[in-house]
Structure 1
Amino acid sequence: MSTISTRSTTSSPQRPRSLRSLSGCTQDWGDWCRRPLQALYPLLAVSLLPVKVRDAELVDRHLWVAMASDSKGCIDVLGLWLEGTPQGGRSTFAHELFADIRRRGTQSVGVVLSSAAGVQDAARTAWPAAVALPAVAQTVQETVRQVKKYDVPSLERGFKEVFLAANPKDAAVRELALIEGWKRRYPQLDQDIRKGCTALAPGLSLDARVRRAVVSFDAIVAQAMSRFRRAARTSSQFPSSASAMKRMYLICRSSCFPESSDRWDALWYDAQRAFQVQGWACGADCELDASGSST
């Protein structure tokens, strides 16, 4: 049975039990950042969180969080990175982040989810066989900003039905039905729905079972990121970059994350055959070639 865990996939020191143990977690934090990763992750998501840090002066920074599911369905936080001000901007930082993940042992990734600018191109550079998609939940949220709160769940279901369509032709039919269904109430939503569906269209090349796993994995990532956002709001601002990183590290190593999910277990079990067909669950020594097949 698969498990959802933010613990290291290798042996690691015991996690701090209290947020008051901030000063005592330095060594554990360093070991966690440098720990080796698995060679293959079928699913990987990169999310950004704005934080306020006071080093020399108060500045707005972005915390990058990478979460991934291995070939057994175990979900792990691969690392935390605090964005500086690289000359090439966010795209350069994304390349550096993926280079760090590769240095720690990850040679193959199946699907990369992120809506941050430059991340998808950086992912294709690091792993040419990877399918890069925007985060499903964030794509939906960007579309429903003009929608009243009580209509959001229904529109979200409509987007997911398009993404989970049997084939591109079926997806086009569902997209048209979604537009027509909301046209009278929100005439201005037409272009937003088309834009969101177009962004998710590359995912239609994946097996339907993989897409169901992607949607569930994306929801788990969104739930985890809500914990980080709550911590950032509670702290308001951090006295230094180090304190921000350690605070977020303690959040991701605390027991606030679910240890397992029956729904995720069932979806992963159903998707395993599809992952194996695409070469994403065949073992730690499996690599993907440019066509997405195992070598």
Structure 2
Amino acid sequence: MSATDEHDRAEPTIPKLDPSTTGTVKRALEGEITDHLGYDKHDPAGRGTGNSRNGTRSKTVLTDVGPVEIDVPRDRDASFEPKIVAKRQRRLGGVDEMVISLAAKGLTTGEISAHLAEVYGAEVSRQTISTITDKVIEGMIEWQNRPLDAVYPVIFIDAIHVKIRDGQVANRPIYVALAVTCEGRRDILGLWAGDGGEGAKYWLHVLTELKNRGVADVLMVVCDGLTGLPDAITTVWSQTITQTCVVHLLRNSFRYAGRQHWDAIAKALKPVYTAPTEAAAKERFAEFTEAWGARYPAIVRLWDNAWAEFVPFLAFDPEIRRVICSTNAIESVKARIRRAVKARGHFPNEQAALKCVYMAIMSLDPTGAGRKRWTLRWKPALNAFEIAFDGRLAAGRK
């Protein structure tokens, strides 16, 4: 057996370069040396060629996050000159972008460290990774205080619940305000942490912050029965209509009903929220009360309490109803955030939770493909808003 064969047998097997991971340093370097030698590791075709793999050498390179160690393959006659990490190259960019991207997907610091070790061959400590992701906090503060448009057709306000360890692990809401612009674009205005006991004073603070950032008028705010929010909306924007999310109202109704009755209740409530007028909706709701009120009085009480914020959209045409009777516009955003939050489990403090949610938001639709579809979907509704609200949108474009 030749010395070359013995050496190749002693080395741990490294997978061939996978096309899906060509951007990673470790496998890219392995691919480079394969191209240089003309054969894969352990390939019999390499015997007698006069050159072979000769292990690796450790090399320290400076990155955006500090020095890291990587393993560079070597060959026996020292003719291999890598391009990914060239000889005498002492700087490797893009590590912080990768760390932030992985964190935005919900990976923990330990998981990110293991990932970098696998694909880069680089040892990056958990503390270093935490330092990298802390870089986004400055950007988050700037984003949270950026100037906003003067007028928005609709703002959707909803909550994501996260687990925060504050003495003990407890569910805490993080509120997301998503607006639709006068051009039909989606714009997330900000994030606010709560404790679950928010009232009018809390919401007055949030909405005043938005007004101070430039929001002079909002046509409608769609939300899920958040205590004190309607009063705060009236105080800050006197002409704004508060609309309860019908989908949330239905979901909350099901909480009071046996699962075997969900389909029947949904069918009985549909004539209420699809009624042509408020008067017709009242008649249909009276019929629902007669049929189900004795069994589920809590559902009747829920709708009675929400009625004032439920009925506004009944005064508008189908294009407006279609987009404001639910918070579907914000559901895709919430789904992306939930994936990141769920992967993390719980957070040590409020700032860590906000940082995770912010990074998830910043990673939304990086190619911009979804923005075009979103804008096209909103065009009919925006035309209807323009007519229904007597030129208030036009004033916002000036």
User: How much has 1:190 moved relative to structure 2?
Assistant: 5.7
- The equivalent of 1:235 in structure 2 is 344
Any stretches of 5+ residues in structure 1 without a counterpart? 1-13, 287-295
Matching residue within 360, 379, 393 for 1:269: 379
Change (3 A) 1:261 1:166: farther
Q: Give, in angstroms, the shift of residue 54 of structure 1.
A: 3.5
In the other structure, the counterpart of 1:18 is 102
Question: How big is each residue's C-alpha offset from its partner over 1:63-115, in whole Å with a ceiling of 9 and x where there is no partner?
Answer: 121111111221221100113699xx532111110011111111100111222
| Code of the aligned partner of 2:226 | A
Q: Which residue of the partner structure matches residue 247 of structure 1?
A: 356
Evaluate the alpha carbon distance shift between residue 17 and residue 85 of structure 1 in structure 2; reply closer, same or farther with a 3 A threshold: closer
C-alpha displacement of 1:206: 3.5
1:140-186 per-position Cα deviation (integer Å, ceiling 9, x unaligned): 11111234557646755664553342212332344345556x64xx8
Q: What is the CA deviation profile of residues 26-65 of structure 1, one whole-angstrom value per residue up to 9, with x for unaligned ones?
A: 2321221111111111111222233333457656533121
The residue aligned with 2:216 is 107
Larger Rg: 2
Matched, 1:188 2:295: yes
CA deviation vs aligned residue, 1:15-34 (integer Å, no higher than 9, x gap) = 95331652231232122111
Look up the match of 1:5. Answer: none
1:284 aligns with 2:380: no
TM-score in terms of structure 1 length: 0.75
Aligned-CA RMSD value: 3.4
SS at match of 2:325: helix
Moved more, 63-72 or 148-157: 148-157
Using the TM superposition, name which of 226-235 and 41-50 deviates more: 226-235
Q: Name the counterpart of 1:8.
A: none
TM-score (norm 2): 0.57
Contact 1:53 1:244 in 2 (8 A): yes
Match of 2:279 among 169, 186, 189: 169
In 2, are the aligned partners of 1:54 and 1:238 still within 8 Å (CA)? Answer: yes
Alignment partner of 1:73 out of 184, 201, 206: 184
Q: Distance in 2 between matches of 1:192 and 1:85?
A: 22
Instruction: Answer yes or no: is the 8 Å Cα contact 1:164–1:211 preserved in 2.
Output: no
1:224 aligns with 2:333: yes
Q: 1:171 to 1:84 in 2, by over 3 A?
A: closer
Task: Tell me the residue number matched to 1:45.
Answer: 156
- Is the CA contact 1:53–1:59 (under 8 Å) kept in the aligned structure 2? yes
SS of the residue 2:156 aligns to: strand
Q: How do residues 17-166 of structure 1 correspond to structure 2 at under 5 angstroms?
A: 17-19=101-103, 22-54=133-165, 60-83=171-194, 89-114=198-223, 115-147=225-257, 149=259, 152=262, 155-156=265-266, 159=269, 161-166=271-276
Write the distance in 2 (CA, Å) between the matches of 1:177 and 1:108.
38
Describe the shift of the 1:158–1:31 C-alpha distance in structure 2 as closer, same or farther (beyond 3 A). Answer: farther
Q: Which has the higher contact order (CA 8 A, sep 6+)?
A: 1
Q: Percent identity?
A: 23
Q: Structure 1 residues 57, 171: CA separation in 2 closer, same or farther (over 3 Å shift)?
A: closer
Q: Which runs of 5+ in 2 are unaligned?
A: 1-96, 104-111, 113-131
